């Protein structure tokens, strides 16, 4: 899959450690959000619907995944 048309965004909280994922979107397909490892830009890219990403972000805001980071 070519990622040339995807605009990627990395969280500012990731800092310089590089331990982060990036979310991306393609202006020609507004139904899909892409996710990749920021350290492996040529690696696999996952595809999610906007609804799936919205559900994940909502759960993260409610701290539902905090126990996984410890």
DSSP letter at 17 equals: S
Q: 0.75 exceeded by the pTM?
A: yes
What is the average pLDDT score of the chain? Answer: 90
Question: Distances in Å between the alpha carbon of 46 and those of 15, 41, 62, 67, 70?
Answer: 23, 12, 23, 23, 25
The verdict on residue 23 lying in a domain is yes
If one compares 34 and 2, the residue with the highest pLDDT of the two is 34
Average of per-residue pLDDT across 28-41? 92
Q: How far is CA 1 from the centre of its chain?
A: 16
Neighbours of 48 (CB within 10 A): 15
* pLDDT reported for residue 46: 96
Regarding predicted confidence, which is higher, 21 or 19? 21
34 belongs to a structural domain: yes
Residue 1 lies in a domain: no
Count: domains in the chain: 1
Task: Give the mean model confidence (pLDDT) for residues 7-18.
Answer: 80
Whether residue 41 is contained in a domain is answered as: yes
Q: Which of 38, 61, 59, 34 is nearest to 48 (CA)?
A: 34
Q: Which domain holds residue 18?
A: 6-69
Residue 45 lies in a domain: yes
């Amino acid at each position: 899959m070519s990622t040339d048309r995807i605009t990627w965004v990395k969280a500012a909280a990731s800092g310089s450690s590089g331990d982060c994922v990036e979310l991306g979107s393609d202006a020609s397909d507004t139904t899909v959000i892409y996710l990749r490892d920021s350290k492996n830009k040529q690696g696999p890219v996952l595809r999610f619907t906007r609804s799936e990403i919205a559900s994940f972000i909502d759960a993260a805001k409610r701290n539902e995944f905090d126990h996984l980071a410890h």
